[in-house]
Amino acid sequence: MTRIALFSLLLGLAAVLNAQKRASTEVEKLGAARFNEAIKAFSENDYAKSIPLFTVADSLIGSTELVDRLKLRFALGTCYLETGQPGKALEYFEWVAGRDSTYPYVYFQAAECAFKGGKSDKALQYYRKALTGSGPDQRPIVLGKIGELELKAGRPQAALKILDEAIFLSKSAHLYLLRGQSLDKLAQAVDMAEDNSFNYEKAIQDGKITEETMNEAIKLRERALDDYEAAAENPGLAPACDKLIKRSNIILENNRKVVSEIRYQRENP
């Protein structure tokens, strides 16, 4: 979750800090006290300490009018996610979404939990829901997540469409890297460049590889190379991108040789 989102959540929680003043019974006073302690720990990024405090507050005053239970449980989900417990966090975000599907960031947080928990299909479902209500700053982030999952699921064409939109909104290096990988996947289905067992000579003779298809693959590989070069401007991605750039240049050189061979065979039957 972004720092901005966490800050917004904290402001929302702070708005109900007067719960202790309004508590009338000893149980309510205890619950309100724990709630205020939880908010203090949360504001200090001590999410592990916040969890038991929010949990006690939830059990004692969660069903009362002293607190907004949606905010409380969203905060609990955030604490579990921030402490590396995505499965438990997802339970809380799904609870909130089930009662208010428009709650800010709830689908994005649920998607993050599913993604980190290895539930790619569920993560994709929630990211798509998050996209509906995402603002201009968050939209390219969500699109990038969707593109990444589409690529992971073996749907590079769908990933490419999503990533094109994301890059139109944000020139993030990570988005360029993902789009380059999507383009490479599409090219691989055409030129089989990374299949060491592929017999180009036989494929040319059988008409499975033609000058037209190879030129299509070359265009895709060139676009991928451009994206890798753009992504390489990010120092953190540069080492990985440099390897991809080197590989792309080798593949492009080989593909052009295949085109030359096709032309030679056509002109010298």
Beta strands in the chain (DSSP E): none
Residue range 179-188, pLDDT digits in tens: 999 999 999 9
DSSP per-residue letters across 108-173: HHHHHHHHHTT-HHHHHHHHHHHHHT--TTTHHHHHHHHHHHHHHTT-HHHHHHHHHHHHHH---H
Q: What is the dihedral of CA 134, 138, 142, 147, to 10 degrees?
A: 120
**Amino acid in the structure at residue 176:** Y
Q: Where are the domains of the chain?
A: 174-269
- Whether residue 21 contacts residue 28, with contact meaning beta carbons closer than 8 Å, is answered with no
Give the C-alpha separation, 265 to 269, whole Å.
Answer: 6
Write down how long the chain is: 269
- Give, in order, the Cα–Cα distances in Å from 104 to each of 82, 225, 254: 17, 38, 50
* DSSP secondary structure code for residue 85 in this structure: -
Rounded to the nearest integer, the mean pLDDT of the chain is 91
Query: Which among 65, 64, 62 is positioned nearest to 76, based on CA atoms?
Result: 62
Residue range 92-110, pLDDT digits in tens: 999 999 999 999 899 999 9
Q: What does each of the 269 residues of the chain score in pLDDT, given as a tens digit?
A: 444 355 455 545 554 555 555 656 888 888 888 988 998 899 899 999 999 999 999 999 888 888 889 989 999 999 999 999 999 999 999 999 999 999 989 999 999 999 999 999 999 999 999 999 888 889 999 999 999 999 999 999 999 999 999 999 999 999 999 999 999 999 999 999 999 999 998 999 888 999 999 999 999 999 999 999 999 999 999 999 999 999 999 999 999 999 999 999 888 87
- Whether residue 193 contacts residue 220, with contact meaning beta carbons closer than 8 Å, is answered with no
The model carries a pTM of 0.86
